[in-house]
């Protein structure tokens, strides 16, 4: 692969618990049942975000108010989130292979920079791109615009993400995709794309070689 396009929230940043707590506060304020654990959250989360809110019992007319409340709560506590285990190892190993890395997130740019600042990862990426509308949260145009302007062959681009939206973008653009299973959404029950539970396993999809710790590649689970 010539380039790896990373998702941020859930994929590199382990913020699922922060997101679930913020959503539970929004639900509790409306007298709705809360999400009891991370497994349940992953089973119900997905894009479009409006549909996820409806599954939680939030009416469409209340979506923007609820989303605003959620974003405020999430922003207040996201600093508690740590990077996913082995995120730095994977980024460093891919950089060592000479592959370009970009980060494209369904987060507005200023907020994205604030979330990334404590983790000091900027040097790994040639570009860091966010979306313009936090309520729509669609990054398809951002990824597509970046790919067209980059001149990269889509078949030599690998996207790594944790949601159906990431997968849909990859399929639409004709780039390869790897699901990260421990982010915001449970991987789907199909085998179109590989699923990894350890970010070091992304390295083998870039190089086809061994892991950065020198061990033989672990099996990659496909759901």
Kindly state the DSSP code that residue 119 receives in the 8-state scheme.
G
Evaluate if residue 150 carries a pLDDT over 60.
Answer: yes
Do residues 194 and 209 touch, judged by C-beta distance below 8 A?
no
CA 137 vs CA 24, 48, 131: distances in Å: 20, 8, 7
CA angle 170, 172, 178 (to 5 degrees): 15
pLDDT tens-digit readout, 127-141: 999 988 766 546 888
Quote the distance between the C-alpha of residue 140 and its chain's center.
13
Burial class (CB in 10 A: 0-12, 13-18, 19+), 60: exposed
pLDDT tens-digit readout, 81-106: 999 999 999 999 999 999 999 999 98
pTM for this predicted structure: 0.90
Do residues 38 and 192 touch, judged by C-beta distance below 8 A?
no
């Amino acid at each position: 692969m010539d380039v790896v396009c990373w998702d941020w929230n859930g994929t590199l940043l382990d913020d699922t618990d922060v997101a679930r707590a913020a959503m539970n506060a929004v639900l509790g304020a409306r007298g709705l049942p809360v999400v009891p654990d991370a497994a349940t959250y992953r089973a119900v989360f997905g894009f479009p975000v409006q549909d996820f809110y409806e599954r939680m019992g939030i009416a469409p007319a209340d979506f923007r108010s609820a989303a605003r409340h959620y974003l405020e709560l999430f922003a207040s506590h996201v600093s508690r989130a740590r990077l996913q285990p082995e995120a730095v190892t994977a980024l460093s190993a891919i950089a060592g292979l000479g592959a370009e890395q970009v980060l494209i997130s369904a987060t507005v740019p200023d907020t994205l920079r604030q979330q990334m600042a404590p983790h000091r990862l900027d040097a790994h990426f040639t570009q860091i791109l966010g979306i313009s509308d936090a309520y729509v949260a669609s990054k398809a145009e951002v990824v597509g615009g970046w790919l067209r302007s980059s001149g990269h062959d889509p078949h030599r681009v690998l996207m790594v993400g944790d949601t159906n939206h990431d997968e849909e973008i990859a399929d639409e653009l004709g780039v390869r995709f790897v699901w990260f299973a421990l982010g915001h959404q449970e991987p789907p029950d199909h085998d179109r794309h590989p699923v990894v539970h350890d970010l070091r396993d992304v390295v083998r999809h870039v190089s086809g070689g061994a892991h950065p710790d020198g061990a033989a590649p672990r099996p990659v689970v496909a759901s």
